[in-house]
């Protein structure tokens, strides 16, 4: 049974809920981004990418398409909102195939064109390590030092869902403009922290295959940001945006500390409270050089 609190909010999560939306029972019900917030975050992220391009004399032209990596796609609420934005192609990543299939079902209901979304079944760490300064740095299909055991290629008949292709690392685009991070916050107890610190409260587990055994790689919320910064920010131009979706009780100083210790030279970041019906639901932290230069 879906708890009453979440069931009552279902059309806030997906306004087309009644048309056949699928939300995996459990974590997904409390993690899906409400549609109005997802739409706003998508618009703000795209706006920042365009501002960065205006300020840059290198990199992608102002009219080029925008590629946004949704690193924790889940059931697709944010990915659908990104894909709806003008000229955006979203790379929707999750290490859970069931969730990706649900996201594909939901994208179909929202009429997302296949050319605007690429579903990738992969581990977030593998994805982030595949990029440096906004460009793909290695041929992901040749990676072997860190291959996640639960995201290996599935049989071909598993690789399509609701008319969309579900790819692996080999299909990643050459370039990305922005990364959206909406990781698990450690369950519903996130509110018990007075000041939520992503370093201590966000833990991502990746299964790593090493010759004859499997081990678990733990990445905390600070390391996740650092990997994302190295994947998308470039010192040679002003491009690259990260939007980090965090709880309403996040400690802003902790977020600043993560940014500083990641080595990025941006002077500013933006912490935005996301309000629905007069109540602060979440906070989004935006990073991009345009914030320092405006």
What does the binding site for ligand MGP look like in residue numbers (CB under 6 A)? 30-31, 33-34, 182, 184-185, 188, 190, 245, 281-282
Residue 21 CB, shortest distance to ligand MGP, in Å, is 15
If the CB atoms of residues 245 and 286 are measured against ligand MGP, the closer one turns out to be: 245
Residue 93 CB, shortest distance to ligand MGP, in Å, is 14
d(CA 50, CA 82): 14
If the CB atoms of residues 133 and 248 are measured against ligand MGP, the closer one turns out to be: 248
Residue 186 CB, shortest distance to ligand MGP, in Å, is 7
If the CB atoms of residues 115 and 277 are measured against ligand MGP, the closer one turns out to be: 277
| Nearest residue to the partner ligand MGP, using Cβ | 185
Residue 216 CB, shortest distance to ligand MGP, in Å, is 19
If the CB atoms of residues 190 and 286 are measured against ligand MGP, the closer one turns out to be: 190
d(CA 221, CA 197): 8
Nearest to 180 by CA among 288, 260, 103, 104: 288
d(CA 162, CA 102): 9
> Is 120 in contact with 169 (CB distance < 8 Å)?
yes
If the CB atoms of residues 180 and 233 are measured against ligand MGP, the closer one turns out to be: 180
Tokens of 284: 């989004």
Residue 142 CB, shortest distance to ligand MGP, in Å, is 32
For residue 214, count other CB atoms closer than 10 A to its CB. 11
Looking at 160-291, which runs of residues are DSSP E strands? 160-161, 164-167, 178-181, 203-210, 213-220, 241-247, 270-276, 279-288
If the CB atoms of residues 29 and 233 are measured against ligand MGP, the closer one turns out to be: 29
If the CB atoms of residues 209 and 281 are measured against ligand MGP, the closer one turns out to be: 281
Residue 72 CB, shortest distance to ligand MGP, in Å, is 7
Q: Are strands 164-167 and 117-121 parallel, antiparallel or unpaired?
A: parallel
> Is 164 in contact with 225 (CB distance < 8 Å)?
no
Q: Give how far Cα 169 sits from Cα of 95, 124, 129, Å.
A: 11, 10, 11
Number of alpha carbons in the 13 Å side-chain half-sphere of residue 89: 16
Residue 222 CB, shortest distance to ligand MGP, in Å, is 16
């Amino acid at each position: 049974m879906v708890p009453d609190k979440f069931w009552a909010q279902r059309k806030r999560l997906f306004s087309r809920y009644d048309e056949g939306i699928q939300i995996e029972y459990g974590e997904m019900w409390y993690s899906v981004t409400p549609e109005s917030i997802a739409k706003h975050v998508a618009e703000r992220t795209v706006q920042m990418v365009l501002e960065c391009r205006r300020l840059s004399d290198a990199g992608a032209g102002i009219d080029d398409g925008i590629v946004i990596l949704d690193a924790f796609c889940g059931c697709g609420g944010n990915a659908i909102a990104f894909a709806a934005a003008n000229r955006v192609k979203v790379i929707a990543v999750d290490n859970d195939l069931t969730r990706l299939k649900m996201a594909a079902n939901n994208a179909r209901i929202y009429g997302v064109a296949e050319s605007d979304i690429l579903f990738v079944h992969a581990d977030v760490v593998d994805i982030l390590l595949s990029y440096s300064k906004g460009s793909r740095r290695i041929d992901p299909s040749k990676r072997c030092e860190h291959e996640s055991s639960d995201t290996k290629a599935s049989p071909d008949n598993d690789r399509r869902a609701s008319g969309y292709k579900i790819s692996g690392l080999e299909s990643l685009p050459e370039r990305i403009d922005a990364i959206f991070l909406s990781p698990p916050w450690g369950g519903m107890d996130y509110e018990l922290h007075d000041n939520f610190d992503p370093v201590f409260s966000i833990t991502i587990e990746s299964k790593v295959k090493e010759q004859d055994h499997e081990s678990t790689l733990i990445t905390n919320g600070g390391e996740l940001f650092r990997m994302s910064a190295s994947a998308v920010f470039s010192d040679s131009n002003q491009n690259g945006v990260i939007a980090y979706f965090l709880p309403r009780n996040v400690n802003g100083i902790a977020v600043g500390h993560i940014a500083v210790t990641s080595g990025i030279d941006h002077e500013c970041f933006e912490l935005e409270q996301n309000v629905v019906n007069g109540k602060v639901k979440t906070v989004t932290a935006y990073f991009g050089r345009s914030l320092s230069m405006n």
